[in-house]
Amino acid sequence: MAPPHETSAAGSESPVPVVTVDVAAASDLITSAGHRYVDVRTEEEMNKGHLHNSLNVPFMFVTPQGKEKNPLFVEQFSSLVSKEEHVVVGCQSGKRSELACVDLLEAGFKNVKNMGGGYAAWLDNGFPINTPPHTMY
């Protein structure tokens, strides 16, 4: 297992170190170490498939003007997860979740980790997912 590495958001005045773990490490943390998983993809993305027992707090919304940051993200996240809980944050590829982790760390969350590669890497590794039921018309 590769050790976590730290990254920081580009352009921030005081970089906040984000710990990024690969999907295998994230899977271990979620299934064995009691970490909660919060998916920051849109509701539409979540409806196509998601990790078991994942929570969803969209970091961005798709609007007619393009993607816009959810102005209530930290507030909504705080309503589901305490600042002391151990959390793995993921998105489709790992970029939005990294940005989300920066915001969460700046807001005082102590134990958040970014899942590198995101949901796409989760799928590529064959880890289990929940998918919506298929309907026949």
- By three-state DSSP, how is residue 69 classified? strand
Q: Please give the single-letter amino acid code of residue 28.
A: D
d(CA 18, CA 120): 20
User: Which candidate, 70, 75, 89, places its Cα nearest to that of 23?
Assistant: 89
91 is catalytic: yes
DSSP assigned state of 6: E
The catalytic residue among 87, 88, 91, 104 is 91
Q: Please give the single-letter amino acid code of residue 30.
A: I
Angle in degrees, CA 87, 5, 120, rounded to 5 = 65
Active site positions, annotated: 91
